[in-house]
Amino acid sequence: MRTTTYVSLLAVAALVVSAGCVKDVDAPAFSGPSTFANSILMVADRDTLTQNGVDFTDIKITALGPDGQSIAIPLRAQTYVNGIPADYGTLSTKSPLTPTTLRYTAPAASTLAAGQVAQTVTIVVTPTNAGDFRGEFSRQLDIRLQPQGIILPINPNLIANFTISPEQPKVMDVVTFDASTTTNNGVACGAACTYVWNFGDGTSATGQVTSHQYRTVGTFQASLTATDTLGANSIKVAAISVGAGAPPTAAFTVSPSNPGVNQDVFFNASQSTAVSPRTIASYNWLFGDGDTGTGVIVSKKYTAPGVYKVQLTTTDDAGTVSTPTTQDLTVGPTVGPTPTASLVATGSPSASKGTPAFFNASGSLPGSGANIVDYAFNFGDGEPVFHTTNPIQSHQYLAAGTFTTTVTVTDSLGRTATAQANVTVAP
């Protein structure tokens, strides 16, 4: 049953800690809940614990009535961290009844570097015998938790901060990260701090100013950890949104521009460009007849006449794909003149035995819609016919006399032509 008791200003609640000091609380009003007329004392045998999951302190709680005699009062027990209720550590009970001993056990050690800092846990008890503890006057004491091993210092005046440029980067842009705005006690920390960066994509760096390239589109949580000369640190996290950027441009040329059937056609995409600093990583071709290809320069033969729609698509090293570029290619039938062969004995049409004679067939021409694919040299001295793609050759005759050298050229459509040149070999 809730009652009201009038007390003098000297009737105050007191808190006693193990070191022997007393923590006073404000005097209650002249009227209020019944427990305002009572004194609740909390005495901890230890006020500092090691945060290791096993260290503990026993808190003796007694309640004295107005006549100074011990009385039984039900309490609600809670732990607070930074003024917020939290189950940080363990209480032997959350519903003690005075007189009693309440045991608080420290939490396990933190696995985070930020957890290696001493903390204060507040144990709060509130009378509940009035049926509604919300209007009651709470009593409390503080327990300091000391981390194991190295204790990191705290510097609330150290404020990590950074800027990026450009502020809205695209994929593969060179992004500059600048921590010059980091301050210590209101002054730029500069070289007095060390700086560690995490770019949020699995990469990191150090230094007050650094740069980074994001290789994919997305939002990345970049963080800066600034550390002062005493080892205290501050962390700044910012979301970096990376856009796709402009795609590459696909362009190509075709040679010859009006090929014949079964003629080698060359496709050259070296005119394609990517937006700096990106580069083109792949070239993909559709030749219009069901065939495909890859590479900056490719070749193929069309086996039937017609108009073929050739398409090129490029992809840069950031994975951005270009708009396809197309050209219509007309492939003509296999008609036209046959190849023309030409052969000249260079220098002099005569030679000495044992010295080389030179022949030049580069004046030969292929038939329409084709190109020369073979030069067959017969030097007229009984040596085997020599096949090559080089129109300029030399030959050494081992006997004197006049020899007729014949060259037979073959184009890519299988058509042939022949030319001859005489060489007189002196003894």
In contact, 217 and 204? CB cutoff 8 Å? no
Angle at alpha carbon of residue 321, lines to 320 and 323, rounded to 5°: 140
Q: Alpha-carbon dihedral of residues 143, 147, 151, 152, nearest 10 degrees?
A: -80
Tally of CB atoms within 10 A around 274: 22
Q: What is the pLDDT along the chain (427 residues), one digit of tens a residue?
A: 333 232 322 233 333 333 333 344 444 443 344 445 678 899 999 999 988 999 999 999 999 988 889 999 999 999 998 888 999 999 999 999 999 999 999 999 877 655 567 789 999 999 988 766 666 788 999 999 888 776 667 889 999 999 999 999 988 889 999 999 999 999 999 999 999 999 999 999 999 999 999 988 899 999 999 999 888 899 999 999 998 888 999 999 999 888 888 888 999 999 999 988 889 999 999 999 999 999 999 999 998 889 999 999 999 988 889 999 999 999 976 545 778 899 998 755 567 777 888 899 988 888 776 789 999 999 999 999 999 999 999 998 888 889 999 999 998 888 899 999 998 888 7
Structural domains of the chain sorted by starting position, each given as residue range(s) with its CATH number in brackets: 14-147 (2.60.40.10), 158-242 (2.60.40.10), 253-331 (2.60.40.10), 344-426 (2.60.40.10)
- What sign has the CA pseudo-torsion 62, 66, 71, 73? negative
pTM of the model: 0.40
Distance CA 76, CA 95 (A): 5
Residue with tokens 């084709």: 370
Q: Alpha-carbon dihedral of residues 382, 385, 390, 392, nearest 10 degrees?
A: 20
